[in-house]
Structure 1
């Protein structure tokens, strides 16, 4: 039997419908700059403009708690926000956290210490936060965390300038990052898999693409591969155009494909690349080198992904 994301209780279509509803009832003020990818919001009431986003770790946090992987949990929380911010052409600077718990305990101290240390490595600051003890919502062992990130816009990435023939560059992921974990956890449970026996580190924290700001002036589009997998990431930046790309699958994707159909994986997981860049031919080699990336294809009329 092959697993699906919906069989794990997550319906991406339902999420999209709710997002569309939110967009339909909101009227953006004139100080919100148009940003078509939706990774973060550019607020044009300062000079330079600031960029804002929010995200969490999701159900991967349950495994971090079980295995006491606080540093990787911190990387996941930061990465899900940091990588979204840089897609707009901004440099992340300030971070705020929300921690919801049954009661404050030692793991929360260890997590916050890791969060602060990881932020400092990125020249970011934990400037505020909120910790709420809510025993009527959270169990004694489980808790949740959300992050809010503010960045300073350097250059709005001109995603509308993407054209046929442009080069697509993939930046390798450290693993599954922080998406698709309801499905992964269902597989682990149903198949009785001990993660310590896997030939890779399943809980590795999200790779934070701190090299990307160096090439802001040379790229036309940046996509953080998150919810909806690599297919949604490509659609967010290439829009109505197509792509031909070729991907050498890492070990963790080969493993998940034992349990998930390829089409399901493409719309759920990063397939080995946590960030996608689009640039023109003349800048492709330099961009790939600066960001330690792979040239994986081009923008064209097809929608073709070759896996090997």
Structure 2
């Protein structure tokens, strides 16, 4: 190894803004949050080079449920919602958003999430902040019934500004080959479209949200009277409302699918993310059918009306960017629609009958 010159300062990693000690401290703090998501299928110790997950812990049970298992994978982040979390100094819910964006996509195909990994890129590791982020991820995994088996935190002061970070995730699930839900192959004319309520903006459209806040000079720390009649958001500041974590639909949907062992009344599903209803429900349609959705079938929450008013945003643009209060949709056979809506309501979901499938060209058509 070459010797350092006595006339020059000996550089260390810490001099460049990267602290190995802070990274080690963070790893120690997050172990408890990972462990609470682990079951007997998770193998190996925390801190290994890779996470391990055993598919056949209970071999008889696994073989009974899956004769021809197919692995399903998703990866996603939370976009510029992290900038609001940073601005407000609230980091303990953004992790749930990251999990939700992945697992809600996965269940659309009929899959059950198995495990999750996260990635955090940051200017510098603050062990307390990083623990809060990972706690949110672990909370999301618990809500989704999957294990957080690993992740990566990259300290990159040359890439991120001071206090900045980004968050992304990767998940793997499993579905029986014969039970894969592919709407473009199974959706039929006359099927009923059910919608499940969102918990707010979720994790899409935050660049526009932030632009509205800036243009209208809205105060994120203010409690606005616009939400006085909303039991979910009354008394909360605008910042708290905008950071409400994305709803995770995994358990009620997986339970619903498992309840139909032979029949397949659910012909298609869609997670309503960027693109809103018109940009996501259409992904579950054959080319010769339309989803006809009545605008009167659900009440748009006050939050979206508030954003539209203060941003002077066109109605079509609102529908194209935001979920408008509907976070997930199911397309079901008509004679099962009432029973499925009842099951989901009992599971804690707010269910709306949005419309029906009609002849068309693969589009979402809104009616008055």
TM-score > 0.5 by shorter chain: yes
Once residues 174 and 236 of structure 1 are traced to their aligned partners in structure 2, the CA distance between those partners, rounded to angstroms, is 22
Give, in angstroms, the shift of residue 278 of structure 1: 0.0
Query: Which has the larger Rg?
Result: 2
Once residues 284 and 116 of structure 1 are traced to their aligned partners in structure 2, the CA distance between those partners, rounded to angstroms, is 34
TM-score (norm 1): 0.81
Give, in angstroms, the shift of residue 67 of structure 1: 2.0
Once residues 71 and 218 of structure 1 are traced to their aligned partners in structure 2, the CA distance between those partners, rounded to angstroms, is 38
Name which structure has the greater RCO, CA cutoff 8 Å, separation 6+: 1
TM-score (norm 2): 0.68
Among residues 270, 278, 281, which one is paired with 1:234 in the alignment? Answer: 281
**Residues 52 and 150, structure 1, Cα contact 8 Å, conserved in 2:** yes
Among residues 318, 326, 335, which one is paired with 1:282 in the alignment? Answer: 335
**Residues 93 and 133, structure 2, Cα contact 8 Å, conserved in 1:** no
Q: Which residue of 2 aligns with 1:180?
A: 205
Once residues 367 and 219 of structure 2 are traced to their aligned partners in structure 1, the CA distance between those partners, rounded to angstroms, is 31
> Which runs of 4 or more aligned residues in structure 1 lie more than 4 Å from their structure 2 counterparts after TM superposition?
none
Among residues 129, 133, 158, which one is paired with 2:155 in the alignment? Answer: 133
Once residues 177 and 220 of structure 1 are traced to their aligned partners in structure 2, the CA distance between those partners, rounded to angstroms, is 25
Superposed, which structure 2 residues align to 1:1-308 within 5 Å?
A: 47-105=68-126, 106-154=128-176, 155-159=179-183, 160-195=185-220, 196-198=222-224, 199=227, 200=233, 201-210=241-250, 211-216=252-257, 217-240=264-287, 241-246=289-294, 247-258=298-309, 259-292=312-345, 293-301=351-359, 303-306=364-367
Q: Deviations over 1:152-197 (max 9, x none)?
A: 1142013111111110000000001000110110010111111333
Query: For structure 1, which runs of at least 5 residues remain unmatched after alignment?
Result: 1-45
Distance 1:239 1:228, change over 3 A: farther
Once residues 263 and 120 of structure 1 are traced to their aligned partners in structure 2, the CA distance between those partners, rounded to angstroms, is 36
**Residues 249 and 272, structure 1, Cα contact 8 Å, conserved in 2:** yes
**Residues 103 and 144, structure 2, Cα contact 8 Å, conserved in 1:** no
SS, match of residue 49 in structure 1: strand
SS, match of residue 291 in structure 1: helix
**Residues 214 and 290, structure 1, Cα contact 8 Å, conserved in 2:** no
Name which of structure 1's ranges 120-129 and 227-236 shifts more when overlaid on structure 2: 120-129
Once residues 108 and 183 of structure 1 are traced to their aligned partners in structure 2, the CA distance between those partners, rounded to angstroms, is 27
SS, match of residue 270 in structure 2: strand
How many residues are treated as equivalent by the alignment?
262
Give, in angstroms, the shift of residue 91 of structure 1: 0.6
**Residues 97 and 130, structure 1, Cα contact 8 Å, conserved in 2:** yes
Q: Deviations over 1:95-133 (max 9, x none)?
A: 011110111102111111232233134321111111111
